[in-house]
Amino acid sequence: MTRGVLIAAELGVPLAVLTAIAILVAINFAAPAPPPGTILRIDLPASTGEIGLPRIDGPADASRPLVVIDAGHGGHDPGASGQRGEQEKRITLALALALRDALLEGGRVRVALTRDGDRFLALEERSGIARRLKADLFVSVHADAAESPDATGATVYTLSDRGSDALADAVATRENRADRVNGVALGGKSDTVTAILVNLSQREMRERSRRFAELVLREGQGALRFHKDPEREAAFVVLKSLDLPSALIEAGYISSPEDARALGDPAWRKGFAGAVAAAMEIYLARTTVVPGG
């Protein structure tokens, strides 16, 4: 694959477009240049539609609340990198699996993962899985990087039109760049009533999401080390849902040697999972009514 095609893949260009680029490159190098004005027509593969839904683990009772856990990045998108070659996509998957196991051990909620292996998902597919499954809570797990190795600790993000500070805006911009073409566009149509309903729904979901974020901070005390400013707002694409409480947890800074060691430690990940799972269960117990429960 040529360097140009590799760059396009890293930017999240759809497979069909990559295929077309590869064909054009092959034509360019394997055949004489066509006469000026020649139009090349290439049939692109048909769209496969929505991706398949993951399995749901946990109690067979469908009335039990459902949590969807999203391991950030994956596939050709490795995410941030640590000083010793650590890859964010591998760390987030390990954290998501630990969190799933902690929830299943509790036996009170159902759990689904957006990915349980090393595969790429578009940003809208991640939150879209949660919406299609009618989840009660969506949590995306990441491990950020910063220019300064002194940046450490976990941060919990919820949705805002603008970040709570310049750093929050920068993090959101970096994460959203992974899938700029397929990002979720909020706002509804031009109809005034629709716009009002959308606004009200966003406000309600933001408030629910903030309540969950507060629980993560509370339950994580003593088990996790948080950033000095641990609760923030940013315009992450994966959090832009009108009907689903959502949060993005930066478990630590992969760029920090100390955080990177912790993120790679199974015992630390178990502690992280236990604290976040406790916050999830408390949140769901407060907000979800289980028939006959």
**In the chain, where are the structural domains located?**
1-49, 66-287
Q: Which residues pair with 53 in a beta bridge?
A: none
Position 190 confidence tier, pLDDT thresholds 50, 70, 90: very low
State the Cα–Cα distance between residues 212 and 135, nearest whole angstrom: 15
- pLDDT of 170: 59
Q: Please tell me the number of Cα atoms within 13 Å of 134 on its side-chain side.
A: 5
pLDDT in tens, 117-168: 999 999 889 989 999 999 999 999 999 898 887 889 999 999 876 655 555 5
- CA-only gyration radius of the chain, Å: 21
Phi, psi of 237 (to 5 degrees): -60, -40
123 vs 91, more confident: 91
What percentage of the chain reaches a pLDDT higher than 70? Answer: 66
One of 3.30.465.10, 3.90.550.10, 3.40.309.10, 3.40.630.40 is the CATH number of 66-287, namely 3.40.630.40
What is the mean pLDDT of the segment spanning 207-226? 94
**Higher local confidence (pLDDT), 5 or 60:** 60
For residue 66, the cross-strand partners are 110
